[in-house]
Amino acid sequence: MATYEAVIGLEVHVQLRTARKMFCRDLARFGDAPNTNVCPVCLGLPGALPVVNGDAVNLALRAAIALNCTIHEVSLFSRKNYFYPDLPKGYQISQFDRPLATGGHLDVPADDGGRPVRVRIRRLHLEEDAGKSLHDRLAGATAVDLNRAGVPLAEIVSEPDLRSPAQARAYLQLLKQLLEYAEVSDCNMEEGSLRVDANVSIREPAESELGVKTEVKNMNSFSGVEHALAFEIERQSAILDAGGTVVHETMLWDAGRQQARPMRSKEESHDYRYFPDPDLPPLVVSREQIEAVRIALPELPYARRERLRERYGLPALDAGVLTASRWVADYYEALVRLVPDAKAASNWVMGPVLQSVNDRKLALRDCEDFPVSAAALAELIGLVSDGTVSHSVGRDVFQKMLDTRRSASDIVTAGGLSQVRDSGQLAEWVEAVLAENPREVERYRAGEAKLLAHFMGQVMRKSRGKADPHQVTELLRERLA
Give min distance, CB of 232 to ligand ADP, in A.
10
CA distance 171 to 77: 28
Alpha helices in 182-323 (DSSP H): 222-241, 287-296, 301-312, 316-323
Give min distance, CB of 209 to ligand ADP, in A.
9
**Is 69 or 401 the residue whose CB approaches ligand ADP more closely?**
69
186-205: contacts with ligand ADP (CB under 6 A): 199-201
Nearest to 472 by CA among 433, 427, 435: 427
Is 5 among the residues that bind ligand ADP (CB under 6 A)? Answer: no
**Is 60 or 329 the residue whose CB approaches ligand ADP more closely?**
60
Is 9 among the residues that bind ligand ADP (CB under 6 A)? Answer: yes
CA distance 298 to 316: 22
- Choosing from 4, 11, 177, 332, the residue that interacts with ligand ADP (CB under 6 A) is 11
Binding range to ligand ADP, per CB under 6 A, among 6-14, 40-48, 49-57, 464-472: 6-14
Is 58 among the residues that bind ligand ADP (CB under 6 A)? Answer: no
- 241 CA to centre of own chain: 37
Nearest to 214 by CA among 194, 234, 193: 234
Nearest to 71 by CA among 323, 241, 285: 285
Tell me if residue 80 falls in helix, strand or coil.
strand
Read off the DSSP letter of residue 190. T
Binding range to ligand ADP, per CB under 6 A, among 3-11, 145-153, 187-195, 437-445: 3-11
Is 184 among the residues that bind ligand ADP (CB under 6 A)? Answer: no
Give min distance, CB of 159 to ligand ADP, in A.
5
Read off the DSSP letter of residue 272. G
**Is 10 or 476 the residue whose CB approaches ligand ADP more closely?**
10
Identify the bridge partners of residue 467 per DSSP, sorted by sequence position.
Answer: 420
Q: Which residues contact 340 (CB under 8 A, 6 or more apart)?
A: none
**Is 147 or 199 the residue whose CB approaches ligand ADP more closely?**
199
207-226: contacts with ligand ADP (CB under 6 A): 210-211, 213
Tell me if residue 126 falls in helix, strand or coil.
strand
Is 160 among the residues that bind ligand ADP (CB under 6 A)? Answer: yes
Give min distance, CB of 91 to ligand ADP, in A.
18
**Is 37 or 199 the residue whose CB approaches ligand ADP more closely?**
199
Identify the bridge partners of residue 162 per DSSP, sorted by sequence position.
Answer: 8
Longest dimension (CA), the chain: 97
Binding mask 277-306 for ligand ADP (x = CB under 6 A): ------------------------------
**Is 53 or 236 the residue whose CB approaches ligand ADP more closely?**
236
Nearest to 201 by CA among 158, 235, 176, 243: 235
**Is 28 or 194 the residue whose CB approaches ligand ADP more closely?**
194
**Is 9 or 152 the residue whose CB approaches ligand ADP more closely?**
9
Give min distance, CB of 160 to ligand ADP, in A.
4
Is 123 among the residues that bind ligand ADP (CB under 6 A)? Answer: no
Give min distance, CB of 173 to ligand ADP, in A.
17
**Distances, alpha carbon 179 to alpha carbons 106, 198, 406, in Å:** 12, 19, 34
Q: State whether the Cα torsion 70-75-80-84 is positive or negative.
A: positive
Contact between 425 and 462 (Cβ < 8 Å): no
Contact between 130 and 84 (Cβ < 8 Å): yes
**Is 117 or 367 the residue whose CB approaches ligand ADP more closely?**
117
- DSSP-derived pairing of the beta strands 214-219 and 249-254: parallel
**Is 96 or 332 the residue whose CB approaches ligand ADP more closely?**
96
**Is 37 or 158 the residue whose CB approaches ligand ADP more closely?**
158
Residue nearest to ligand ADP (CB): 9
Read off the DSSP letter of residue 116. P
Contact between 472 and 456 (Cβ < 8 Å): yes
Q: Which amino acid is at 299?
A: E
Count of residues engaged in binding ligand ADP, rule: CB under 6 A: 15
CA distance 378 to 239: 59
Give min distance, CB of 148 to ligand ADP, in A.
22
Element at 217 (helix H, strand E):
strand 214-219
Binding mask 140-159 for ligand ADP (x = CB under 6 A): -----------------xxx
**Is 199 or 346 the residue whose CB approaches ligand ADP more closely?**
199
Binding range to ligand ADP, per CB under 6 A, among 23-31, 206-214, 357-365, 390-398: 206-214
Q: Which amino acid is at 160?
A: P
Give min distance, CB of 245 to ligand ADP, in A.
13
| Residue ranges in contact with ligand ADP by CB under 6 A | 7-11, 157-160, 199-201, 210-211, 213
